[in-house]
Structure 1
Amino acid sequence: MSHASLYEIFEDAIATQGWDDNSQRVVLQRYIENQQSEAAFDDHLLQHAREVNQEHIVSSDGLESYMGWRDRDMVRIMLEYIENQQGDDSFADFIAEQVAEEEAMTTNFTM
């Protein structure tokens, strides 16, 4: 049985939900927070800072500003981080829950 990659799962959700770059970033940030891995993600960002000799920038906001990253860049970095952390289907489950919640909200608004 082959599993879809996290990129395929996320791309399917984007296509279904019409998420823009900011919405994608919010969903991924929520996933990282739910996994209680914000500190580990900050370490991941620090690796990017080291690559440009800016390891003194310790906040993600400061690094984003220095690097000129936009939401799309952060989405790519977050997906890269999540892919490196994967060991189970928690990402697929989380995305399915997000899609279901949004669809339920849409259904409630149209009633």
Structure 2
Amino acid sequence: MRVILNVIWLILSGLWLFLGYALAALIMVVLIVTIPWGIAAWRIGVYSLWPFGKTVVDRRTAGVGSALGNIVWVVLAGWWLAIGHILSALALAITIIGIPFAWANLKMVPVALLPLGKQIVDM
């Protein structure tokens, strides 16, 4: 079932969301100083390609550095990516079949806004 959900997700919104994250990662890596945020953007982008069967958990070792990094992230790219998830969720929620995918998009908004200090694990 997960494979079917992931394939439909990939076609409907996963690829477009991944491209947004990849663009954010590329910009962050080009700016050199923001490479850690580029790595986080890439990690979440790969998660946005194939999200069913995975979940996001808080890392216990995350501290003040992650909190400060998240503030920088929100300013640079986080809010744009969160808006992308919300718009994609609205578009998917129009049909009955798209409602589970809209819900998955909404569950990804917090990690799009505050990615540092999070870890993506298999369920």
Q: TM-score, normalised by structure 2?
A: 0.26
Q: Which has the higher helix share?
A: 1
* Higher Cα Rg, which structure: 1
Where relative contact order (Cα < 8 A, 6+ residues apart) is larger, the structure is 1
